[in-house]
Amino acid sequence: MVNQQFAFALHILAMLAYSGKILDSRTIAASINTNPVVVRRLLLALRRAGLIETSTGKRGGATLTKPPSRITLLDIYDAVAWRPAIAVNRRRAFRACPVSCSMKTIVGRISHETDQAIRRQLGKTTLHRLISEIR
């Protein structure tokens, strides 16, 4: 992955789990060293996934909806990673070439299997275990 959204999302949720309090996007952004709007966009994705709740207005911010022991890194990955780790070539195949005609299917399967392997791995770790490594 080129983008850092998964790393940012982990950081956000680690902050929320570690503090246990409502945190605003400015505080979180300072910890990540980025802009509050970048954080807010990720908060939206995490909320859509049901991992956090947000509230607007004064004293607003975000909190977890579940205990950190019941959130896995896979939940977070699903919330923010929409592209598979392995891309497939989507162009038209060259009809006269059997390799070309089969590659989309074959690479599609490889991509899917690899995704499953990633998901299996991420499903093993909870947010609770992740924050237990802080300090």
Binding site for its own copies (CB under 8 A): 1-4, 6-8, 10-11, 14-15, 18, 30-34, 73, 83-89, 91-94, 97-100, 102-103, 105-107, 110, 113-114, 116-118, 120-122, 125, 130-131, 133-135
CB of 49 to its own copies, least distance (A): 18
Do the Cβ atoms of 89 and 107 come closer than 8 Å?
Answer: yes
| E-only strand ranges, the chain | 52-55, 61-64
Strand partners, 52: 64
Separation of alpha carbons 9 and 46, rounded Å: 8
Helix (H, G, I), strand (E, B) or coil at 135: coil
| Residue 115 near DNA by CB under 7 A | no
Which one of residues 10, 18, 40, 122 is an interface residue with DNA (CB under 7 A)? 40
> On the CB side of 70, how many CA atoms lie within 13 Å of its CA?
7
Separation of alpha carbons 11 and 66, rounded Å: 17
CB of 64 to its own copies, least distance (A): 14
CB of 35 to its own copies, least distance (A): 12
**Site residues for DNA per CB under 7 A:** 1-5, 8, 24-26, 34-38, 40-41, 43-44, 47, 54-62, 83, 87
